[in-house]
Amino acid sequence: MHMYQLLRKAVPALALIALALPASADAQLRAIVSKNVSASSSGATLELEFSDDGTLRIALEDGDVLVDGDAVASYAPGDALEVEWRSLLGQAMTLENGALAEMLVEWSAPASIEGAEAEAGLRIDQALEEALRDTNARVSSDEGEITLSIGEQGSLVQLLVNSMGRLGVLEEALEGLDENFRVHVDEDVTIEEGTTVEGTVVVIGGTLRVEGTIEGDAVVVDGAVDVRDRGRVDGEVRIADARIVRNSGEVRGGIVDVLEQERDFESRLRDELREEIRDEVRRDLRNEIRNVARFDDDESFSIMSPIRPVIRGVGGVVEKLIMVFVLGLLGAGFLAFAGENMDAIAETARRSPGRSAMVGLAGSFLLVPVWLLGAVALVVSIIGIPVAIAWVPLFPLAAGLAALLGYVTVARNAGEWLADSGFPWTGWIRKTNPVFTLVGGLLGLSAAFLAAHVISIAPFLGFLSGLLFAVGVMITLVAAQIGFGAVLLTRAGRRREYYGSYDADAAWEAAMNVDVGEGSDTSSKDEV
């Protein structure tokens, strides 16, 4: 990691070089340590050796323009280009190092030269520029030293633009390496036979050819590795986005593809995504087929579309009526087996609805904690464990029964109120029959839901239907809380102080609306 950090430090240095390159050619010219200028009737040659052991040989020989031995263009012997070249070399004979480099860099083929000669002149100019511009940088720190060598100026800028992306890969490739680095960017590197290089050789965007020995590691990013027969790498050859051209030499540390794990992970992720998409498509297709087969009530147009709201509305009404019927049966059971308890609860709810509601609300919130604490307390006390076994299922059951008892009791109260109300369609509710008042009350409490379902059949009344649903939910919640609270207050109807003793005369007077005598006492009906 140290070297990665060091390499990151090199980026500003590269940036400085990049800035300096176009602005100041003089300051960035390579030092020429040796010069060889030769001219004969058959050709004229310039050979330079630089302080970093680099060399350049440009020759015009027998019609060929040779750059480092490679024919890059041609010329006609005796033509203007050759005359220009010889003139340049004539000046080069008298100049040394900086002045020579400056003169060579500034040289360009005259504008009067055209065609193939101009192309040859351009190639010579480029060769001089590329060889003489110093695009090497050296960055040092306590952890080591990095020598950077940039193949082309353009690649330097490109490296800076793409540096974070490439450095991201480098971070993995250089991890654990802690030696001096030679970094080559966008250039091919050959470790010649008989040559030994110490430290780590890093090649980014180029080919590393090993014919000699690297006493360290080799790292190639976005390039290729070619270890020849007599090539040897003492450490590892790490590749990232790179390929092995040949490995006929010796790599003692082995070849490590640093991105292999990442590629495996990506491949696995791709497979999983592909599988998920396939499942989803399969599921969607299956649902679609099922919906078509069942004339499902989806929103798409089908033959069932016009009657779908009617079905939905009627279904809701029927569902609600069934629920009323079930609750009515349950209430009838309560009346039959716990009528007096129910009377006490009903009276408490009637006289103290607010208090009952608050107690019911508090009781609802406390249900779960009490259940858990009770279970824990029983389990902790060893002897309570058998009770806990009963407590765990029975407590929720008892709470549910209490809630139902409270609700149907409140419903019975509501039925009695409806019987006295004189509203239309309430004549059938007779107070003398508690089952009628119970069912009437359940229907009354569910009236908002029923109305909502009926209205939902009609088009464009969705808002009103939703509003009625909300009202129904509110009524149900309030009734449930009052009923549950009353059950709690009366200890399931066993505490009767909340409604006092039964006064038959008062009940008769109230029922018949007559005065049976002055001795009647109603004070006992005051809320306790």
Partner 1 sequence: MMRKGWGAVALVAALVPGALSAQSWKTVTMSRQLEDNDEVRVFVEYGAGHFTVRSVDEGLLYRMNLRYDEDKFEPVADFSGDRLHLGVETIGSGINLKGREAGEMELELARGIPIDLDLEFGAVKADIDLGGLALTDLDLSTGASESTVDISEPNPLGMGTAKFEAGASEFTLRHLGNLNAERIEVDAGVGSITLGLDGEWQADAELNIDIGLGSLELLVPEGLGIQLRKDSFLASLDSEGLIKRGDVYESLDFEEAEHRVVVDLDAAFGSIKVVWIR
**78 touching partner 1, by CB under 8 A:** yes
Task: Please report how close the Cβ of residue 38 comes to partner 1 at its closest, in angstroms.
Answer: 4
Instruction: Name which of residues 247 to 266 contact partner 1 (CB under 8 A).
Output: none
For β-strands 196-198 and 189-191, DSSP reports them as unpaired
Binding segment toward partner 1, per CB under 8 A, in 18-26, 35-43, 302-310, 514-522: 35-43
Q: Which of 160, 173, 37 shows the shortest CA–CA distance to 96?
A: 37
Q: Nearer Cβ to partner 1, position 99 or 304?
A: 99
Structure token digits, residue 477: 């919640």
How many other CB atoms are there within 10 angstroms of residue 471's CB atom? 15
**77 touching partner 1, by CB under 8 A:** yes
- In angstroms, the Cα distances linking 396 to 246, 360, 374, 379, 401 are 76, 15, 12, 17, 9
Task: Please report how close the Cβ of residue 184 comes to partner 1 at its closest, in angstroms.
Answer: 24
Query: Cα(412)–Cα(441) distance, rounded to whole angstroms?
Result: 5
Q: What angle do CA 241, 244, 250 make, to 5 degrees?
A: 130
Cβ atoms of 50 and 26 within 8 Å: the answer is: no
Residue 176: phi and psi, rounded to 5, are: 90, -15
**Which of 2, 8, 9, 35 touches partner 1 by CB under 8 A?**
35
The total number of residues shown for the chain amounts to: 528
**447 touching partner 1, by CB under 8 A:** no
**Which of 3, 29, 32, 344 touches partner 1 by CB under 8 A?**
32
Q: Nearer Cβ to partner 1, position 79 or 188?
A: 79
Question: What is the arrangement of strands in the sheet containing 224-227, beginning at the earlier edge strand?
Answer: 189-191, 207-210, 224-227, 243-247
Q: Nearer Cβ to partner 1, position 51 or 300?
A: 51
According to DSSP, the residues that pair with 239 across neighbouring strands are 220, 257
Query: Cα(161)–Cα(163) distance, rounded to whole angstroms?
Result: 6
**Which of 31, 385, 507, 528 touches partner 1 by CB under 8 A?**
31
Q: What is the DSSP letter of 187?
A: S
Instruction: Name which of residues 210 to 249 contact partner 1 (CB under 8 A).
Output: none
Q: What angle do CA 137, 143, 145 make, to 5 degrees?
A: 20
**Which of 5, 34, 287, 300 touches partner 1 by CB under 8 A?**
34
Query: Cα(403)–Cα(114) distance, rounded to whole angstroms?
Result: 104
Cβ atoms of 214 and 197 within 8 Å: the answer is: yes
Cβ atoms of 184 and 149 within 8 Å: the answer is: yes
Q: Nearer Cβ to partner 1, position 31 or 389?
A: 31
Q: CA torsion angle for 443, 445, 447, 449 (degrees, to 10)?
A: -120
Task: Please report how close the Cβ of residue 73 comes to partner 1 at its closest, in angstroms.
Answer: 18
Question: Residues 86-125 vs partner 1: string with x where CB under 8 A?
Answer: xx-xxxxxx-xx----------------------------
Q: Nearer Cβ to partner 1, position 61 or 129?
A: 61
Task: Please report how close the Cβ of residue 37 comes to partner 1 at its closest, in angstroms.
Answer: 4
Q: Nearer Cβ to partner 1, position 5 or 34?
A: 34
Q: Nearer Cβ to partner 1, position 51 or 267?
A: 51
Question: Residues 46-75 vs partner 1: string with x where CB under 8 A?
Answer: ---x-x------------------------
**42 touching partner 1, by CB under 8 A:** yes
Query: Cα(387)–Cα(375) distance, rounded to whole angstroms?
Result: 9
Task: Please report how close the Cβ of residue 88 comes to partner 1 at its closest, in angstroms.
Answer: 9
**Which of 22, 23, 41, 512 touches partner 1 by CB under 8 A?**
41
**33 touching partner 1, by CB under 8 A:** yes
Query: Cα(288)–Cα(271) distance, rounded to whole angstroms?
Result: 26
Task: Please report how close the Cβ of residue 78 comes to partner 1 at its closest, in angstroms.
Answer: 6
Element (H, E) at 45: strand 43-50
**Which of 76, 83, 336, 473 touches partner 1 by CB under 8 A?**
83
To which residue do tokens 């259940």 refer?
371
Q: Nearer Cβ to partner 1, position 43 or 406?
A: 43
Q: Which of 486, 450, 484 shows the shortest CA–CA distance to 323?
A: 450
Binding segment toward partner 1, per CB under 8 A, in 81-89, 152-160, 220-228, 499-507: 81-89
Binding segment toward partner 1, per CB under 8 A, in 44-52, 123-131, 258-266, 321-329: 44-52
**Which of 39, 358, 467, 475 touches partner 1 by CB under 8 A?**
39
Binding segment toward partner 1, per CB under 8 A, in 41-49, 290-298, 395-403, 518-526: 41-49
Q: Nearer Cβ to partner 1, position 92 or 445?
A: 92
**80 touching partner 1, by CB under 8 A:** no
Number of chain positions touching partner 1 (CB under 8 A): 29
Q: What angle do CA 90, 93, 94 make, to 5 degrees?
A: 105
Instruction: Name which of residues 296 to 335 contact partner 1 (CB under 8 A).
Output: none
Structure token digits, residue 260: 């292999």
Task: Please report how close the Cβ of residue 52 comes to partner 1 at its closest, in angstroms.
Answer: 12
Structure token digits, residue 227: 């270890």
Query: Cα(29)–Cα(367) distance, rounded to whole angstroms?
Result: 87
Contacts of 446 (CB under 8 A, 6+ apart): 320, 323, 324, 472, 476
Task: Please report how close the Cβ of residue 89 comes to partner 1 at its closest, in angstroms.
Answer: 6
Task: Please report how close the Cβ of residue 77 comes to partner 1 at its closest, in angstroms.
Answer: 7
- In angstroms, the Cα distances linking 27 to 22, 48, 100 are 11, 19, 14
Sites of contact with partner 1 (CB under 8 A): 31-42, 44, 49, 51, 77-78, 82-83, 86-87, 89-94, 96-97
